[in-house]
Amino acid sequence: MRHILFIFIIAFSIQSINAQKATWIYYPGDFEIWLGNEMQNRRTERGTFFPPFWKMDSHYVLVEFSKKLDLTQPEEVQIYAEGRYNVKLDGKMISGYPTTVTIPAGKHSLNIKVHNQANVPAIYVKGKTVQSDNTWQVTFEDKEWIDESGKASDTSSGTVYLNASSWNFDSPENTPSKFKLATEPMSAVKSEKKNNGTLIDFGKETFGFVKFHNLKGKGNLNIYYGESPEEALSTESCETLDRLTIDNSNAKDLTINDSKAFRYIYIEKDNSLSYDSVSMLYEYLPLDYRGSFRCNDALLNKIWDISAYTMHLTSREFFIDGIKRDRWVWSGDAYQSYLMNYYLFFDSSSVTRTMLNLRGKDPVTSHVNTIMDYTFYWFMGVYDYYQYTGDKTFIEQFYPRMQSLMQYCLSRTNSTGMMEGLSGDWVFIDWADFKMSKTGEVSFEQLLFCRSLETMALCAKLVDNTEDSNKYTSLANNLKSKLFTAFWSGKENAFIHNRENGVQSEQVTPYTNMFAVLFGYLDQDKTNAVKHNVLLNPDALKITTPYMRFYELEALCMLGEQNYVLKEIRDYWGGMLHEGATSFWEKYNPNEKGAEHLAMYGRPFGKSLCHAWGASPIYLFGKYYLGVKPVSPGYETYTIEPNLADLKWIEGKVPTPNGDIYVYCDTKQIKVKSDTGIGKLTVKSKSKPACKDAVINPKGSNTYEVEIQKGKEYTITYKAL
């Protein structure tokens, strides 16, 4: 009962928040697809257009918006549309392209139909009480035909209506098609003559539009971008560049058209050209840093700060992989951004924008980004999104797209119900420095597939689809039991990597083992086996991407190895800082040296030095040191289990849909304050802790629990173990 009530409250709250103001609305998912096309087709490599290699969908070009009204007084309503449109009041078309319509008192229906091929059909309607918002209905086929007598077909036409979507386009002028990220002027920190040109340093990794001040003369101007000085100076091999021909008889400022990632730029120009100085416009998505973390270790604080900056740089139109390249939306990368976002910005719109762009439209013709694992991360992202935000509307609106993506997977299972890479499927897993097979039944893929089926079962239940819920539950259970018979090796006491033609390989890779811990699929014996035979085994195969270190370290945190993980964070992320990182990298192998760190994909500067998946400490600190996580969707209930590890104190905030949760912890005191839900604080203490105005519940083994009510401040005194 409580669960159901909660969902009702959240749904109501979303509606009422959105109903407060008029905003541009459009068909759900369409702006995300359109913006993704705009953005992902902006990538260039050395001046050459470099688009994605997967299917790009389009918005519906003809969309109808409708709203049932019940007015106590007549009302004049202003109408704005992006596209050619018509307006119907009570089923009757109003002549021409009306910009204002007077709606009489009483019950009425207002329909607006918009056509736009190049941009997303959208409307903005504003009256005293009538406002375009996501209580409006929208469809791409209204099926409103008329019979010979002119009578319209009845409204039970089988048409599927969704609630309209919106973002933050809250004024008539601020239209979706004009969307731009924010910009801010930034100065360079250093400029020096190098080779035949000038090397300019902006002090740290950044993103934006290079700007020349008082540029004058006629001639060529070449700009070579670098995340490192080596890259910027390598006119032959830097990954991005601009080659311009200037003809300014009078000096004027020039801002480069395309924003790019860089810390350094190297400029070569004809002598006939001159300019006063070079600056940039930093381009970013305005976001609040709601989450925070501080402790007594300056290195860890810096790691958190650089992680947050890395995360912000890669949180743009969407959560992208890296800002130099690919600047595309990748599901596996984005999945980690979702999780980090819940502990930093808690910007739900960035999560849904990204998920909707990745999902695209039917028909499904390949895996998400063509990668099998990335399809599964998409499902897992939905699971987490619901858990962190409690946004049931999203599930309701997009459940059909979940169904069709899962149907695509199920249509590609083999005779044992497992997924093998078929022609056109990229089985990615990780950029590993050891050899691993991607063929046959890869245990890692089945594990993620199983979790995806569980996600489907959960969401089917949320949309009251019992048939689906039973089907997916049964499929998930079957697959889960097969995981153990097919891949658990009694000899290795761990999951092996894959099975080809019925033959188990002998390779043990970390992936399946650590995800099985994350998903809670293992009993105590197997958990211990994985911990010691794989995760803490110095001879196990080594992960060299922050991408998979994310899950490895999370699994270790779940197993209580916060001390060990802290050491790893200091070594690994500290290692990058030691190499001069001002943002975290796509890949880091501590055994590499100097310019080796810059190379990847067979190119000397192929590696991205600002990659979202490098920012995982944000997530680990928030979830496993401050120790805050939701137990029921949207933080209706949650737990706080602070873990100092080897630190003297930690302090920070974790954002939630409705305010923040503040935690401070040292060896004697824990302070908590929460804006939301009902929390359960777990304290490990040598003696019974004390707290004014709170009941301390002993749970045995030096463990105590305190219920946290929202709006109250708690100070617990205790004795750390």
Q: Which residues bind its own copies (CB under 8 A)?
A: 34, 37-38, 41, 45-56, 58-62, 84-86, 93-97, 113, 115, 117-118, 140-146, 148-151, 153, 156-160, 362-363, 365-366, 370, 404, 422-426, 431, 600-603, 606
DSSP class per residue in 253-302: EEE-SS-EEEEEEEEEE-TT-B-SEEEEEEEE-------EEEES-HHHHH
Residue 158 or 520: the one with the smaller Cβ distance to its own copies is: 158
Residue 102 or 129: the one with the smaller Cβ distance to its own copies is: 102
Q: Whole-number minimum distance, CB 440 to its own copies, in Å?
A: 17
Q: Whole-number minimum distance, CB 96 to its own copies, in Å?
A: 5
Residue 150 or 286: the one with the smaller Cβ distance to its own copies is: 150
Q: Are 217 and 251 in contact (CB under 8 A)?
A: no
Q: Whole-number minimum distance, CB 57 to its own copies, in Å?
A: 8
Residue 116 or 637: the one with the smaller Cβ distance to its own copies is: 116
* Angstrom distances, CA of residue 287 to CA of 224, 282, 309, 313, 426: 30, 14, 11, 11, 34
Residue 153 or 187: the one with the smaller Cβ distance to its own copies is: 153
Residue carrying structure tokens 């319209």: 152
Q: In b/e form, how buried is each residue of 227-266, taking b as 16+ CB within 10 angstroms?
A: bbbbbbbbeebbbbbbebebebeeeeebebeebbbbbbbb
Residue 59 or 499: the one with the smaller Cβ distance to its own copies is: 59
Residue 27 or 495: the one with the smaller Cβ distance to its own copies is: 27
Q: Are 516 and 447 in contact (CB under 8 A)?
A: yes
Q: Whole-number minimum distance, CB 36 to its own copies, in Å?
A: 10
Q: Whole-number minimum distance, CB 547 to its own copies, in Å?
A: 12
SS3 for 371?
strand
Whole-number Å distance between alpha carbons of 289 and 305:
11
Q: Are 205 and 324 in contact (CB under 8 A)?
A: no
SS3 for 706?
strand
Of 396, 168, 388, the residue nearest 291 (C-alpha): 388
Residue 286 or 424: the one with the smaller Cβ distance to its own copies is: 424
Identity at 40, one-letter amino acid code: Q
Whole-number Å distance between alpha carbons of 233 and 223:
10
Whole-number Å distance between alpha carbons of 264 and 581:
13
Q: What are phi and psi of 313, to 5 degrees?
A: -60, -35
Q: Whole-number minimum distance, CB 50 to its own copies, in Å?
A: 7
Q: Are 82 and 176 in contact (CB under 8 A)?
A: yes
DSSP class per residue in 630-681: ESSGGGSEEEE----TT-SEEEEEEEETTEEEEEEEESSEEEEEESSSEEEE
Beta strands in 121-188 (DSSP E): 122-126, 137-139, 162-163, 182-187
Q: Whole-number minimum distance, CB 573 to its own copies, in Å?
A: 22
Q: Whole-number minimum distance, CB 574 to its own copies, in Å?
A: 25
Q: Whole-number minimum distance, CB 300 to its own copies, in Å?
A: 30
Residue 98 or 574: the one with the smaller Cβ distance to its own copies is: 98
Residue 84 or 699: the one with the smaller Cβ distance to its own copies is: 84
Report the alpha-carbon angle 677-398-153, nearest 5.
125
CB atoms inside a 10 Å sphere around CB 66: 18
Residue 289 or 426: the one with the smaller Cβ distance to its own copies is: 426
Q: Whole-number minimum distance, CB 605 to its own copies, in Å?
A: 12
Q: Whole-number minimum distance, CB 318 to its own copies, in Å?
A: 17
